[in-house]
Chain A
């Protein structure tokens, strides 16, 4: 009897896992199979000028990377510092609980609302216009909760016995933080960053309303630009060129996976270097 239950349990687990993997695989294969035939050097290396019969996505890739980069440059330091403060320094109490509640709520807001806010506040109020800066600020606010939550989570999983051990050797709180706690938390922080990158690259609404749709590589933080996801949205919306749309989607997937791999690699190296062990 026991054995049967055991087997059933195992099969159900495998089935669920299998379904999840299968969906992912089907989507990826479907998109990539339809996109790959349209990808060539010209597609990757030219600007998007439909009027001139030139449909490349070079500038859009540059725009996307710039957007991801700037967003992270803004959001990561603020988010990580906030999390460190909340997890390591703040006194437990009502204030902290309230802040946590706000952060959590912020994470649940639909992105279009961030777009609306970014548009009225950054683009109009602060007169940044449709620009890389407006969108990066908006996206930074959007991913901040993700970064704060996961960094806090990562800090919580570092056992207190490490903190005690370090402090008992006469190390200051700050030394303990940098030499013991952060190295342990880095994988968690990195995965927060990866998650944020994914959200930024997949975002359309908030980007559409803050960065505009100009299909040019940004020349400064004040220029309007277009991200791959927005580009994809526009291509699909116009209903033409479904091949280009799949090709764009394929590139988007490749970049997301590539950045993930890079972040993973860096995380491993960094935590090894910081902890000195292997």
Chain B
């Protein structure tokens, strides 16, 4: 069996009085893609944002339970938040390049983490862009603003930006929902490549996408995980009636 990279155990989360996650437990394996599926508002993004503690920013958000990265509790006192977010990167639903040059976008993370040498940065930028299958398209305009790229390119730039800080886990929240089919295809291809190095957790509304790219799939409903398991099993022999209803499109 593959090794568990990140795990959540009996995780409960409240936004004010509203309980958005009700005792959720999930293991995310190393070098594999875990897909989170489920209807809108069921807590997928919330769960994802707990893994790199982006929920800390939300006023009135309260968390109970246990999330571990390599067996270490990420909510323990004195845990290095900057390091956590470096190790657990995040790609957002809407591409969000900074309004700076392509180069500076990629170099942003490494610079934040203390890398200053131009030569080192140059190498990181090239490697990250190659890793995100974007190098060939942009290598001759690294100094141009990233805002001039197409949506699909911007999203790959955001992936490259995350990879430039050499994360161990990459969280993706519907990374292709704002993209056209061809860009989506490229990013899916990319994910197959990325999982050789990283642990990937992806939220998707697209059943086919989950089936294509994920090794394991978790089905969320109203703040709970109804069922989690191998993608094949989830899609072909769901154990729970509600899972079956959802993946066959009977509600959602």
A residues with a Cβ closer than 8 A to B are 91-92, 159, 161-162, 164-172, 175, 179-180, 183-184, 275-278
Contacts and interface: CB of A to CB of B under 8 A. Distances in A.
A164 B89 CA distance: 11
A162 B161 contact: no
Contact of A168 (B52, B101, B146): B52
B33 interface: no
B47 interface: no
B252 interface: no
A162 B99 CA distance: 9
Given A162-B98, A276-B103, A167 B108 contact: no
A180 B109 CA distance: 12
B59 interface: yes
Contact of A92 (B59, B112, B145, B165): B59
Nearest to A184: B99
Contacts, number: 85
Q: Chain A interface mostly helix, strand, loop or mixed?
A: helix
Nearest to A93: B59
Contact of A170 (B98, B113, B146, B158): B113
Given A169-B86, A276-B104, A164 B144 contact: no
Contacts of B82: 170-172
A161 B99 contact: no
Contacts of A171: 82, 108-109, 112
Interface string B78-109: 00011111100110101011111101100011
A169 B143 contact: no
Nearest to B87: A170
A161 B94 contact: yes
A165 B101 contact: no
Given A170-B82, A170-B83, A172-B82, 14 more contacts: A159-B96, A162-B99, A164-B54, A164-B57, A165-B97, A169-B85, A170-B81, A170-B85, A170-B112, A170-B113, A175-B112, A179-B108, A183-B99, A275-B98
A72 B18 CA distance: 47
Contacts of A180: 98
A170 B165 contact: yes
B92 A165 contact: yes
B162 interface: yes
A278 B108 contact: no
Contacts of A159: 96
